[in-house]
Structure 1
Amino acid sequence: MELKKSLKTYDVFSLAAGAMISSGLFILPSVAYKEAGSWAILSYFLAGILMIPALISQLELATALPKAGGTYFYIERILGSSSGMAAGFANWFSIALKSALALVGIGFFANLIFPNLTPFQLKLISAGACVLFSLINIFSAESAGHSQGILVVVLLIILTQFVLVGYREADLNLIVQGAQVFDWGSIISVTGMVFISYGGLTKVASVAEEVKDPGKSLVRGSFIAFLIVQSLYVLIVTIISGVLSGEEFSLSLAPLSDAAQKIFTNPIIKWTEVILLSLAAIIAFITTANAGIMAASRVPLAMSRDKMLPKVMGRVSKRGTPVNSILFTSIFILILIFALDLKDLAKIASLFMLLLFILVNISVIVIRKTNMSNYRPTFKSPFFPLLQIIGVIFYTVLILNMGIKPIITAIIFLFVSVLWYYIFVNKHVNRTSALVYMIERVAKKEILTSMEDLEEELLGILLERDEVKEDRFSNIIRQSIVLDFNKELNRDELFSEISKEVSKRWSIDADKFMKKLNIRENDSETLVYPGVAVPHAIPHVIVEGENIFDILLVRDKNGIIWNDEGTIVHTVFCLIGSKDERDFHLKALMSIAQILQSPGFIEDWENAETPEELRTVMLLAKRRFLEV
């Protein structure tokens, strides 16, 4: 069964925002301050700015290939199956780890409200929350998205009121005192550590297959979430730095709550604010955990579809949710809950995200350079490829400044992933990546590798993305002959070329067919003017036989001289059909007429660079579904 498309812009925003606001705001600021002092404010700002290349590249790929698995799917199809395997495991691990941290945070902040809870009871609270969110996700992605939206609104309201009150109490002198020692190495190291705070922003790509109109919803929801959360991070860390002393901030386990106790002097208001911020923290961890389980579970689903993992992981319930993948992810998260070291695991999770972002940026460069006709993102990265190159450089610098332990952990993890691929997966998977095609093109070698399978898969994704129904007309266009000329022809020369192609496919005498074309055109010209001055031609003839129907697509950029008056035609749709196909013949003519009137069709047709792209333009054009 297919995943259900039920998520809209607001759902994307709430998933992205909810996935970002958690440990990065309620726990990590004190860890960051301990290493970099008030310069942690700069680290948070830099981490957000450095997210931009990854965000933009991810959105381009997600709007072109809105499939479950997100980062894994792009990297596997573009850079190859072994890279995809490593990326899939890394993507799944990093999201699951961030969710585990959030669930532990739920137990930690529950202890602030109920201080008599034992460590085991706190673990039970975290585990219980994991089970609850797993059940919500199993029940419905739409329900998970809606519940996420409600919680995110409450969270943002609480945080906004803290900013509006807290900025007036912040002491600039405290901020300056905390920033007396400038250490660029510490700032970069902390930037890499808090990078996980923004990592949830790009994880919505993992649920892109379930988003309605991803070209708009993914882009709008993600950018709005980024702007709001980036602003909150910087403002709140600044306020805390101006309210708590350096020692208080460094030792605080709940810096927002501790800051609130100093900002509010009235005992009742102080107590209310502390409870309110503790509630906000719990909500933040809930939204991160919920979004994380939803996004992480789509990675094993996508890998199972590609035979990277056992088939059972790809099972989708009648409700349109990947049940086994959710259960598998949740069990892994439950294991992580009982063995976490906050600082090291935050760095490891950030490192995996940075590795993935490097591969994502490289993927955009590769897929663009292949000039594949069916790669048609609705959002394109500006400043290509400069933005991607800058991203790769900065992400590499961040990784190198994280220390040896996270790097060794990542190397071991990636080695195991690649080993799994070569031992268990390689014999089942035989896909050619876009990278291979690009290398062959750059080397100007004879193209030995066929990209038809990948082009066909991309086309299927486009049709699914744009919710284009496929009917008999679509199937005929998929198999149609496409003639793309770059020389001036007259009508007889064109008819001769068409007749040769028809003769090859249908075993019809070429001379007889050409004669039929001329007789039909001489009786009544088939020129049409679809709202523009330049006409199109739709010659159509009846041939002997049964169950014969075909459409030839023709474009000539230099123009075809159509008649004695010198009328120039650039586009021709030639229809052939036997007598028993007359009804469908008329319906096909109606479909072509609708396509010619479709907004943007003529421009897309004229700008298409390959015959395959011409076919894609026809298939994606808006028209009514053809009942047969």
Structure 2
Amino acid sequence: MTKDLERDLGLFAVVAISMGAMIGSGIFILPGVAMAEAGPAVILAFVIAAILVVPAALSIAELGTAMPEAGGDYVFIERGLGPSFGTIAGLGTWLMLMLKGSLALYGGMFYINFIYSLPTWNLAIPGLSATLPIPGVRALGVTFAILFIIINLIGVKQTGGIQSIMVVIMLVILGIFVTTTIVQVDGANYDGFFDEGIDGILAATALVLVSYAGVTKVAAVAEEIENPGRNLPLGLAISLGVTAFLYALLVFVLVGVMEADELADHNEPMARATELLFAESALGGVPVGTLAVAGIIFAAVLALVSTANAGILTASRYPLALSRDRLFLQKFEYIHPRFNTPTVAILTTGAIIIFIVATLEVDEIAKMAGAFQILVYVLVCGALIAFRERDLEWYDPDFFTPGYPWVQLFGIVSGLFIITQMEAQEIIGSIAIVIFGFVWFKLYAEDQIEREGVAKGLARRQAGKQYVEDTETQLERQDEYEILIPIRHDVSREQEDALIQLAAPIVQRRGGHIRVVRFDEVPDQIPLDTAAENVSEADIEFEERTDELVRYLEVPVEVGEIVSHDTRHAVVNFARRSDADLILARRRATSRLRTLLGRDTDWIMEHAPCDVVFVQHEHRVDIDEIAIVTDQSPFNDPLKVELADAIADVLDARLRFLFAVSADAPDELTKTIGDYHAELDDLCTVPVESTVVRSDNHVEALSQALGSADVVVLSTVTHRRLPDLLIERRSDRLAAAIEQPTLLVHSKKTRRGSFLRPILDRILFN
């Protein structure tokens, strides 16, 4: 059975991922270092660097829409130019990402040191009486690196929502900085603009290239992007354009408000500039400088530390991918059985980052990272040319790079030229990684693989995915009733069987089919295609037992699997693509505190394109009576009755309607409820009994009245976090008070209601 990979990243997520990976060292660390190379013309270095990145970004966008799978630039180069170049690209990208993460981690500590002078750590040397002094900035950077290694080892989830919030916060803070400081720019600081000459500008360009390394990071998750033909190129263009414009503005301000020597001498230029500009300002007795510096430092640490943490995650994927493709040591393919993370890859990546932070200077890290980045970008442009010139039938991207092949040729020539303008250390490093990668491939990997360039392996991978795409196309053409049963890893075999047995009568009555899909959620540290290739015993058992169960059911059942980083998004997106009419899923009883943190079930109800039913408690095999607690909902009640009647009709069971009123409720209300039940009765094809429960404690009275029922059907709506934490909904309290299997029904037409809804429910329905 082929596993599908879930696409749940929209345009905003693409922009957020790309910008979040770029906004960091480029503005918070490098302006001062680059100023020492180019003088006031440093602003041109940032603009030229952005232009040099454009060919690779456009190539990545085209290749990503043609081959939307995890791996990004490494995959494109390996499939296009062959595994030998893929080895070079994989190792080069791995080193570049480790250097970029180290730069962000090391640089972030300077901002902490700006407000609190970090003391020197004296490290005792075993066997000697001497100690090794370690600057506090490096020591704290190493400490954070160890923390992030642990976080990635245990697979703590990193969400796109947090990334988006972080990007918005940084843009707001940096926007405020620009608008409040640009009027204070001193034009005299730009005297001698070209004093350092073209050599200085090119040297600074090579230095700041790492500022844009994140623009193509999103290509590594290309297979998770919705509508990649639009969102990938547009997202890359927006993120690169906005970031380059923001960099230019910020550098313009920094050069214009600080003396050249002072700017060049600081690794925390944003904090220093803010302190100088607002030192004497006050607002309501509070020094504005203190607040402004605190805001800038918060943004810097947020950006740089987040980039460093994400750098370990992203960088560790490359030795894993190389190992998986038999281009590197197989031990890097090891996945921890408990945490499901690539332990060896993360530990090795983290160890190298610690070494870099402990030994190299900021400018050395930036220059070496820029050299490896340009090398990879040159190979990306070459890979696109290889795909275009081979006239492959399957190569049909949704986006074509304008100006081909001149854009790619410009990217190759300009990239190689910039490398030649770097210092000897970076040139030697670039040559060394090419030689090492080629020699490693020849001595280690060449005899283990049979692939060649331009995607012999990719064709097999795409053929495997075709099953799910063909099935989805077929489902979109059918007009019958479809029930989607999402199965998570925590659903037992008995619970899975119960869901299918509940769905079978509905489909048998209405016609259509059941789609049972197992949703495997893997940590962000694991690329989706790697997880999809691993077929476990649980996968085989799932397929076999599902096949065994459906043999005796008189309805068609289809089975599939989807791998994603976020199950709730995957469930909703699959339901939308397959045009499902109903989602039938398990729901655990959760604490009220969980409501405050946010329930996955609420998110599914709010975003699902169809009706949703959650099943709580264990299912009973024999069903004689189905009880429906009505609440006069114009949407949920008809749906509850329709589903319950279908189950009862096929299983030869009876229905009972229940409604709770207060003990002193007038007879007119009781009669109104009776009439309402009679109207619902007209929808049913099985015997129906109506019961009105009188009590001042509705939950207790209803739970007692439901004692004879085999299945209970309730309404449910999405929860509001704080109100529902304070006042629990009646349906939740009732479901917790009974032991029978309970169907919690939510119609797609149901409106969520305001924050007052749970309060009114508590007053009206106790």
Q: So what's the TM-score if we normalise by structure 2?
A: 0.56
- Of Structure 1 and Structure 2, which has the larger fraction of its residues in strand? 2
Is the 8 Å Cα contact of residues 142 and 358 (structure 2) preserved in structure 1?
A: no
2:336 equivalent to 1:306: no
Distance 1:48 1:623 in 2: 41
Q: So what's the TM-score if we normalise by structure 1?
A: 0.68
What amino acid sits opposite 1:152 in the alignment? V
Q: 2:25 maps to which residue?
A: 23
Distance 2:446 2:118 in 1: 53
Partner SS, residue 307 of structure 1? coil
Is the 8 Å Cα contact of residues 206 and 299 (structure 1) preserved in structure 2?
A: no
Q: 1:125 maps to which residue?
A: 140
2:364 equivalent to 1:344: yes
Q: 2:197 maps to which residue?
A: 183
Distance 2:445 2:342 in 1: 21
Distance 1:296 1:307 in 2: 18
CA shift digits 1:60-86 (9 cap, x unpaired): 112222333211111111111111111
Q: 1:225 maps to which residue?
A: 239
- Of Structure 1 and Structure 2, which has the larger fraction of its residues in helix? 1
For residue 113 of structure 1, report the CA deviation from its aligned partner: 2.0
Distance 2:52 2:28 in 1: 21
Distance 2:48 2:151 in 1: 35
What amino acid sits opposite 1:276 in the alignment? G
Is the 8 Å Cα contact of residues 152 and 287 (structure 1) preserved in structure 2?
A: no
Is the 8 Å Cα contact of residues 399 and 407 (structure 1) preserved in structure 2?
A: yes
Q: 1:502 maps to which residue?
A: none
The percent identity for this pair of structures is 33
Q: 1:110 maps to which residue?
A: 112
What amino acid sits opposite 1:68 in the alignment? A
For residue 41 of structure 1, report the CA deviation from its aligned partner: 0.6
For residue 456 of structure 1, report the CA deviation from its aligned partner: 3.4
Q: 1:270 aligns with which of 266, 280, 289?
A: 289
2:78 equivalent to 1:58: no
Distance 1:7 1:381 in 2: 22
Inter-CA distance 68–130: structure 2 relative to 1 (3 Å threshold): farther
Q: 1:43 maps to which residue?
A: 45
Inter-CA distance 313–11: structure 2 relative to 1 (3 Å threshold): farther
Q: 1:92 maps to which residue?
A: 94
For residue 352 of structure 1, report the CA deviation from its aligned partner: 0.9
For structure 2, the residue ranges without an aligned partner over 5 or more in a row are 122-133, 476-555, 557-576, 581-766
2:459 equivalent to 1:455: yes
Distance 2:228 2:214 in 1: 17
Q: 1:392 aligns with which of 412, 421, 425?
A: 412
Is the 8 Å Cα contact of residues 304 and 310 (structure 1) preserved in structure 2?
A: yes
Q: 2:563 maps to which residue?
A: none
Inter-CA distance 143–347: structure 2 relative to 1 (3 Å threshold): closer
Q: 2:447 maps to which residue?
A: 427
2:192 equivalent to 1:164: no
Q: 1:257 maps to which residue?
A: 271
For residue 7 of structure 1, report the CA deviation from its aligned partner: 4.0
Is the 8 Å Cα contact of residues 63 and 379 (structure 1) preserved in structure 2?
A: yes
Inter-CA distance 4–334: structure 2 relative to 1 (3 Å threshold): farther
Q: 1:361 maps to which residue?
A: 381
Where does 1:593-612 land on structure 2 (aligned, <5 Å)? none
Is the 8 Å Cα contact of residues 79 and 456 (structure 2) preserved in structure 1?
A: no
Partner SS, residue 447 of structure 2? coil
2:169 equivalent to 1:154: yes
Q: 2:77 aligns with which of 75, 78, 81?
A: 75
Partner SS, residue 167 of structure 1? helix
What amino acid sits opposite 1:55 in the alignment? A
Is the 8 Å Cα contact of residues 373 and 455 (structure 1) preserved in structure 2?
A: no
Is the 8 Å Cα contact of residues 66 and 395 (structure 2) preserved in structure 1?
A: yes
Q: 2:36 aligns with which of 31, 34, 37?
A: 34
Is the 8 Å Cα contact of residues 148 and 291 (structure 1) preserved in structure 2?
A: no
- Larger RCO (CA under 8 A, 6+ residues apart): 1
Is the 8 Å Cα contact of residues 48 and 230 (structure 1) preserved in structure 2?
A: yes
For residue 256 of structure 1, report the CA deviation from its aligned partner: 1.4
Inter-CA distance 4–313: structure 2 relative to 1 (3 Å threshold): farther
Is the 8 Å Cα contact of residues 109 and 140 (structure 2) preserved in structure 1?
A: yes
Is the 8 Å Cα contact of residues 69 and 206 (structure 1) preserved in structure 2?
A: yes
What amino acid sits opposite 1:169 in the alignment? Q
For residue 182 of structure 1, report the CA deviation from its aligned partner: 5.4
Is the 8 Å Cα contact of residues 171 and 242 (structure 1) preserved in structure 2?
A: yes
Distance 2:118 2:474 in 1: 69
Partner SS, residue 155 of structure 1? helix
Distance 2:456 2:434 in 1: 30
Which deviates more, 64-73 or 29-38? 64-73
What amino acid sits opposite 2:310 in the alignment? A
